[in-house]
Amino acid sequence: MARTNMRQIEAFNAVMKCGSVTRAAETLFVSQPAVTKLIRAFEDSCGFALFERAAGRLHPTAEAQRLFLETEKLLTGVARVENVARAIRDLERGEVAVTAYPALSLRFLPIIASEFLSERPDVRLAIETRNSQSVYEAMLNGSSDFGISLVPTKHSGIECKPFHDNLLVCALPPGHRLTEKPIVDLRELVHERFISLGRDDLSTVVTKEAFDRAGVEIDAAIRVQMADTACTFVARGQGVALVPVLATLGWRTDEIELRPIWPSVNKTMWLYTRTYEPLSMLAGLLLGRVREALDEINDKYRPDPEAISELPPLPVF
């Protein structure tokens, strides 16, 4: 017997539902002889008659009625598979898992991801927070589609490349004297109560380098581990801080005010993906949204060359 194919099953179902070959042909957008040929081929593959022909009409046999129940389940399943494939193709369904360092994952990523998920209610998202040194572990165990860290890795199982620059900005209490200026010269922070990110945070190194370029030393009154903690102290009037610009998203202007700084400070963000596994379209789209948001917020707080030109020149060492 010839093997049954899906087109034969579709023709059989159409005849069962429509009650005639003519109407089934219209439903399938094929000719009447084509449907007749498919039904005969299906009967041959089954090994028994499916219809009795009397008075110019087809009457399904008991065997056809029983078979119809099964073929209906099959075609419903096929339709479901096609719908899922369409949803995946149109980026409406699937799962995305991300691992990122705290300054990115605690506020910035949830805000950006919320907009992304609002357009795709059937997408599932997992965000794991790790310090930069351990982001690679989540990539190696396969739990994340991509990771974002402040440190590069040379592990053979991970492809690591620069992803984006992350500016540092000055967080000021509302009404602070420096909020009247379009840019904060780091030399003006000498006599300010300074809130520093902890010694283990990678911001500490680049912050010190910036103060060195400005020719000043800062003795921190408060040290914290997270940029969000520093912003909380600033909002409570406990001092000023230099924080990654992406950590400032979500704060109101009546809580903290932000200004670009000079000399400017950039921290490179590194993107981790698995070496031999391509990124899914859905994960790639979310990553693109993250990049666009970083572009937008960095551009907003990038020092204005005209404002810089009005500042005293930096010391020459």
Residue 87 pLDDT grade (very low, low, confident, very high; cuts 50, 70, 90): low
Q: What is the pLDDT of residue 88?
A: 60
C-alpha 300/C-alpha 116 separation (Å) is 22
Residue 186 pLDDT grade (very low, low, confident, very high; cuts 50, 70, 90): very high
Element (H, E) at 285: helix 281-300
Residue with tokens 């909380």: 232
Do the strands 257-259 and 158-172 form a parallel or antiparallel pair, or are they unpaired? antiparallel
C-alpha 266/C-alpha 246 separation (Å) is 12
The helix/strand count (H/E) of the chain reads as 11, 13
CA distances 212 to 110, 145, 221, 267, 312, Å, are: 35, 39, 18, 16, 16
Mean pLDDT, residues 170-194: 94
Tens of pLDDT, residues 143-162: 788 999 988 998 888 999 99
Do the strands 93-100 and 146-149 form a parallel or antiparallel pair, or are they unpaired? parallel
Mean pLDDT, residues 282-299: 92
Mean pLDDT, residues 173-177: 94
The DSSP line for 293-311 is HHHHHHHHTSPPHHHHHTS
Which residue type, as a one-letter code, is found at position 52?
E
Residue 200 pLDDT grade (very low, low, confident, very high; cuts 50, 70, 90): low
Do the strands 240-244 and 222-224 form a parallel or antiparallel pair, or are they unpaired? unpaired
Q: What is the pLDDT of residue 84?
A: 60
C-alpha 149/C-alpha 88 separation (Å) is 28
**Residue 92 pLDDT exceeds 60:** no
Q: What is the pLDDT of residue 136?
A: 85
- Cβ-contact 224, 197 below 8 angstroms: yes
Q: What is the pLDDT of residue 294?
A: 93
Tens of pLDDT, residues 302-317: 988 888 888 888 776 6
43: nearest Cα among 18, 74, 15, 76: 15
Mean pLDDT, residues 229-240: 95
Q: What is the pLDDT of residue 306?
A: 87
Q: What is the pLDDT of residue 90?
A: 54
